[in-house]
Amino acid sequence: MLLLLIASAVPSGYVVEGTGPALDVNSKVEGQPLVSVSDVQTYPSDTKLFMTTVSAYGNADAGAPVAQAVTALFRKDLQILPLRVMFPDNLSSEDVKKQNQMAMTSSQDTAALVAFEMAGYPVSMTLKVAGVSKDFPSGKKLQPGDVIKAIKLSSENDYHSISSFKQLASFLDATKPNTEVTMRLERNGKQVDESFTTVAHQKDANGWVAPGSILGVLIDVQDVKIPGKVKYIVEGIGGPSAGMMFTLGIYDQLTKESLGGKAAIAGTGTIAWNGNVGPIGGIEHKLQGAAEHGATDFIAPAENCRETIGYEPQGMNVWAVRTIDEARTVVESVKSGDTSKLTSCRDLLEHK
């Protein structure tokens, strides 16, 4: 019996994932706002906006105990994953912790800018070409280090000034693939104009292709400026998956009325500089965490919708979004009581 107990406590080669805490980004922690905005006018909100998390048992140094891994095989609320699928063998648990902290900080910075820009405040940043590929027309004209200043259709006379990623993305969203554009750049301190054709988006996990086109280059964002300050009190949670909910919470503070009235809404998803919402891991556990906190609606990245099927808590609506504007519409629609124009994850998969 002693040997059996010892064996069950030995680390396995697996990580066990389960439901983590759900935190209302509009709430307070020991009297301090979880997310506080200063230096600009802010407004109180009655809306509960829950960021959802996953709890992991086991880390990059050692897997979960054998007994816990075996138990997870028989429980729907737990998921068992091979240790080396989760963590490469060249990373320690401390390395992973640092990476997750960096990802969280990056998501918080992005969320702040996207929220301010969505609320109509002036924002700015420097967009610098970080990498090119000769497989794309842009790769034959642009160079790493080029600073993007403006863009236009080559057939037009006037340039569109670019001071944020969203401005560039909005231009490209309205531009069909294989359209020639001319980009005004700063290269080694000099103004340079380069012309090339845009390319189409790739299909996402659901086979959907975004409208418009892309440049086909990597862009680094620097010198981000917003008119206010944002402070976060989030301990022991890492990764980028709270980005969307942080953005909604900050936007809620920057606008007069409660974004979702008195509703309790949860969600998850990364946030990009252009406002796009990206996929995350462990959404089945996050749905359960949301339900435990009374959320009636859940905002999910469209690319994660397939993973929600069969895990929807009873009575909970799971809405699919691809952008922060769509996520905001979900919250506003729940407030109004009219969700007829929203797309649920089940609807998305049935009509894709």
164 in active site = no
Q: Which of 45, 286, 335, 344 is catalytic?
A: 286
Is 286 assigned a catalytic role? yes
Distances in Å between the Cα of 225 and the Cα atoms of 84, 149, 228, 229, 271 are 39, 16, 9, 10, 17
Catalytic residue among 241, 258, 335, 344: 241
Among 241, 321, 327, smallest CA distance to 281 is for 241
Catalytic residue numbers?
A: 241, 286
